[in-house]
């Protein structure tokens, strides 16, 4: 049975147009009006969903036809539509950028695109840009647009007057301090680091309300879809998960899958805790260990606890920042070298430019784990990789290291894409890389 609910894809002609903050402010605006707002994020992003959860007050999940799969995109949207008053999906990059693009996702789900365009320094060209976005793909629905960072009310009127027929201006947002949020080398500053985020979101919501953006988008029909029910492959397995300011890149769908497979999750902080909680397996997710190298190095009790866990051969998954922390040394962006967990010989070092970016997959006999890579550091180690990921577009797979129970890589995996493989990782099964010619555990 189909459900009808207002829904829209917040997108832009390019990155840097302000769509993240506009999406968050829209969510808070309608939440403050008493509506239940569900927000999703297109693509493999950890940081935007943190802010969007604070803005909406509800969980935020990733939607990506390749990484999460088309069926999961449909059932997550259908699940949200059961009781939501509004559904917002924040796009990634430009509207037609990437494969699949935000436009592809909008068409898959049957929802319209709502571009946010930085109109600073622009007048009639605004209309030409909107016309191009609206006509580039006839299968894409686009009937409204948002002008961002206008200079004056008259500026907004000019933009409205220049729009092509059939497309209206939802609102023109003036420049305002509440509409900006700090970022760093991997994206937005984490929501938990912003002390006044709730107050800022309320202010941003007021800015949007004054600009006329409180009007709901058109309702769309969302067809029903059933979620997958994974087997209890991790029944009774206790997994310790690092979660603090240094280790925070965790898909909500990943932890929910682990629980659905029967795992018991126990969170801890490598920054402040002295030892690991009782556990059968350990997950060190990505994050910002390079910003907290001194604190991690000084917490020698935790480092010893993690080394002890590794030395007895228990399963460990270390992703990106987790891999960096597992190295003997970590050189931060100032060049200061910190002694870290010491599971992987060698040094992780911050670089001046991006070292890895894109969608990747790891294929084994137990399934194809899909995900992405995005890092500004390098790893110099004597270990030889047990495998390499495959980059969806282009060349340059990420090394995957396997030693005892440790699986470590710059690759971030989306667990629901390969539940059997994920279960094998956390159970430390030797058949993890079975059937792949020439693979073996890393040399000591």
> For the stretch 54-77, what's the b/e string if a residue is b when 16 or more beta carbons lie within 10 angstroms of its beta carbon?
bbbeeebbbbbbbbbbbebbbbbb
**Spatial separation of the C-alpha atoms in residues 189 and 50, rounded to whole Å:** 10
- What is the 8-class DSSP label of residue 338? E
Q: Are strands 61-63 and 3-11 parallel, antiparallel or unpaired?
A: unpaired
Cβ neighbors of 179 (< 8 A, separation 6 or more) are 18, 21, 22, 25, 148, 149, 173, 204, 207
Torsion of CA 366, 368, 370, 373, to 10 degrees: 90
The catalytic residue among 73, 320, 326, 442 is 320
- What is the 8-class DSSP label of residue 228? P
**Spatial separation of the C-alpha atoms in residues 103 and 379, rounded to whole Å:** 36
- Three-class SS of 268-319: ECCCCCCCCCCCCEEEECEECHHHCHHHHHHCHHHHHHHHHHHHCCCCEEEE
End-to-end CA distance of the chain: 57
**Spatial separation of the C-alpha atoms in residues 160 and 123, rounded to whole Å:** 10
CA angle 237, 66, 317 (to 5 degrees): 30
The yes-or-no answer on residue 320 being catalytic is yes
Q: Are strands 406-409 and 399-403 parallel, antiparallel or unpaired?
A: antiparallel
CB atoms within 10 A of CB 378: 17
- Three-class SS of 406-435: EEEECCEEEHHHCHHHHHHHHHCCHHHHCC
CB atoms within 10 A of CB 384: 11
Query: What tokens does 6 get?
Result: 């207002």
User: Catalytic amino acids?
Assistant: 320
């Amino acid at each position: 049975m189909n459900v009808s609910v207002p829904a829209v894809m917040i997108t832009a002609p390019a990155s840097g147009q302000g769509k993240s903050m506009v999406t968050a402010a829209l969510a808070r605006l309608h939440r403050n009006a008493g509506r239940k707002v569900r927000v999703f994020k297109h693509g493999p992003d950890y940081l935007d969903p943190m802010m969007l959860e604070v803005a909406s007050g509800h969980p935020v999940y990733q939607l990506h036809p390749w990484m999460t799969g088309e069926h999961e995109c449909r059932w997550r949207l259908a699940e949200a539509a059961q009781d939501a008053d509004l559904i917002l999906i924040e796009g990634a990059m430009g509207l037609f950028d990437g494969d699949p693009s935000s436009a592809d996702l909008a068409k898959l789900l049957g929802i319209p695109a709502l571009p946010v365009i930085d109109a600073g320094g622009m007048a009639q060209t605004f209309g030409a840009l909107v016309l191009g976005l609206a006509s580039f793909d006839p299968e894409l629905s686009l009937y409204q647009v948002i002008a961002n960072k206008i200079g004056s009310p008259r500026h907004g009127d000019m933009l409205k007057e220049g729009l092509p027929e059939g497309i209206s201006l939802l609102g023109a947002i003036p420049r305002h301090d509440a509409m900006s949020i700090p970022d760093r080398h991997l994206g937005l500053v984490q929501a938990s680091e912003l002390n006044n985020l709730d107050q800022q979101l309320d202010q941003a919501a007021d800015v949007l309300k004054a600009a006329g953006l409180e009007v709901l988008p058109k309702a769309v029909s969302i067809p029903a879809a059933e979620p997958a029910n994974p087997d209890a492959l991790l029944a009774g397995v206790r997994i310790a998960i690092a979660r603090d300011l240094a280790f925070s890149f965790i898909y909500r769908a990943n932890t929910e899958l682990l629980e659905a497979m029967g795992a018991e999750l126990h969170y801890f902080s490598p920054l402040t805790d002295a030892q690991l909680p009782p556990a059968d397996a350990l997950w060190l997710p990505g994050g910002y260990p390079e910003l907290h190298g001194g604190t991690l190095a000084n917490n020698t009790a935790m480092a010893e606890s993690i080394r002890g866990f590794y030395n007895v051969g228990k399963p460990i998954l270390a992703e990106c920042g987790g891999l960096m922390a597992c190295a003997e040394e970590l050189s931060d962006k100032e060049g200061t070298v910190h002694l870290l967990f010491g599971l992987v010989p060698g040094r992780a070092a911050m670089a001046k430019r991006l070292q890895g970016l894109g969608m990747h997959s790891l294929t084994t006999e137990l399934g194809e784990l899909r995900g992405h890579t995005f890092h500004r550091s390098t790893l110099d180690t004597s270990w030889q990789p047990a495998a390499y990921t495959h980059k969806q577009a282009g060349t340059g797979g990420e090394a995957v290291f396997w030693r005892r129970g440790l699986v470590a890589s710059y690759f971030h995996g989306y667990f629901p894409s390969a539940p059997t493989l994920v279960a094998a990782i956390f159970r430390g099964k030797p058949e993890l890389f079975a059937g792949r010619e020439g693979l073996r555990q890393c040399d000591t």
